[in-house]
Amino acid sequence: MAERVVTPVYAIATNIVSALGMNTAAHWNAVTAGRVGVKLHEDESLSASPFYASKLDPSQWQLVQSQTQTKDPLSPFEQLAIYSAKQALDNCDIDLDNTVLILSTTKGNIEWLGQVDDERLSLYTSADIISRQLGLITKPVVVSHACISGVVALQYGMRLLQGGKYKYAIVVGCDRFSRFVLSGFQSFQAIADEPCKPFDAERKGINLGEAAATIILSIDNENQPLARLAAGATSNDANHISGPSRTGEELAIAINRSLEEAGISASAIGMVSAHGTATLYNDEMEAKAFGLSGVAHAGVHSFKGYVGHTLGAAGILESAMIIEALQHQQLIPSPGFESLGVSQELHVTTQTTPTSLNYVLKTASGFGGCNATAVWAKV
């Protein structure tokens, strides 16, 4: 039987908008400077008590809104997604007629709940609006799969391009900070009363964040590739509606599937960008999965110490930072980490470290027991 030829899929442009800045370069500069976007906020419209989070400031919103003026009303969520996608598009040259938009989000316009009709509130309506604002003629796709949405959206974009459906995919992840989301996580008692500390012995829970992030995927040779999306896989714990697996076996299955698809051994992984929510059970589950799949030797970090948990944007934002790390050949530090607080020995990175990076693993997990993994490769 002839060996199946897999079309390589490349990232050719990225953008990130969060409290750390309006582009990807600003985020890398923040990492190297040790600057984080998580701060203490006092806003009674969002919470009766102070909370730590990463939120865009008024000047950032003013810039977003000034760059997304249209005759038709757009929601702030849509404006933020459009802004990020346009910034990424400015950094490459693609045929928009052969391009699909994939929108990753968990809440979309949830702040409009009860104020507009269901059709305007729907994620597909937002995706259609965003797609048309970007000048696309193809039907957009929505991926809304809890906290793995961004990684799944990238996988789906890769599959569409490899299947010959399109030459390009604009993968945009976006979620805004809202009272609805904050109160939900507060009801789980999952919000930390300090900056989060993924994998640390003193971790107390998560910080939330708002952001938009874009990665443009391509199968052509006309744009300079930044990195290659080598593989992706998903699995499910089938354990609990909100609690993750206690063994890590199911995430390990997804990791092993990605390694197999990428055609590499676990030893080839030089860095792991973990989901790393800083909750007791998520970090423990991930650590066990890394041990079971043989990647615990690699430098591990969570980007949530910088920008909080950005929900539907997280997998794309964190993948864009993987691309930066591959470009700069440096490990990303994990803010807040001091001493290991999980049962599996991990090498949590605490400072920007030059290294030889060829392959990086991205993991994500979410409510319902869902897991997603991806392997990014240097080009």
Asked if residues 375 and 286 have their Cβ atoms less than 8 Å apart, the reply is no
Share of the chain above pLDDT 70, in %: 99
Chosen domain end from 195, 218, 241: 218
Looking at residue 310, its amino acid is: T
pLDDT beyond 90 at 242 = no
Instruction: State residue 10's pLDDT score.
Output: 98
Chosen domain end from 218, 248, 278: 218
Strand order in the sheet with 39-41: 39-41, 51-54, 208-209
* pTM of the shown model: 0.97
Q: Which residues, other chains included, contact 150 with Cβ-Cβ below 8 Å and sequence gap of 6+?
A: 104, 171, 173, 213, 312, 313, 314, 315, 316, 317, 318, 319, 364
Instruction: State residue 4's pLDDT score.
Output: 58
Higher pLDDT, 45 or 239: 45
Q: Does one domain contain both 214 and 276?
A: no
Longest dimension (CA), the chain: 65
Q: Does one domain contain both 100 and 237?
A: no
Closest by CA position to 311, among listed 168, 158, 162, 181: 181
Q: Is residue 280 part of a domain?
A: yes
Length of the chain counted residue by residue: 379
pLDDT digits (tens, 9 = 90+) for 42-81: 999 999 999 999 999 999 999 999 999 888 889 999 999 9
Q: Does one domain contain both 256 and 203?
A: no
- Find the domain containing 134 and state its range: 10-218
Kind and range of the H or E element at 229?
A: strand 227-236
pLDDT beyond 80 at 331 = yes
Structurally, the chain folds into a number of domains equal to: 2
pLDDT beyond 70 at 3 = no
Q: Does one domain contain both 103 and 180?
A: yes
Q: Is residue 154 part of a domain?
A: yes
Instruction: State residue 51's pLDDT score.
Output: 97
Q: Averaged over 136-142, what is the pLDDT? A: 98
Burial label for 7, CB within 10 Å (0-12, 13-18, 19+), is exposed
Write the CATH number for 189.
3.40.47.10
pLDDT beyond 50 at 99 = yes
pLDDT beyond 60 at 1 = no
Q: Is residue 94 part of a domain?
A: yes
The chain-wide mean pLDDT, for the chain, equals 96
Asked if residues 307 and 54 have their Cβ atoms less than 8 Å apart, the reply is yes
pLDDT digits (tens, 9 = 90+) for 104-123: 999 999 999 989 999 999 99
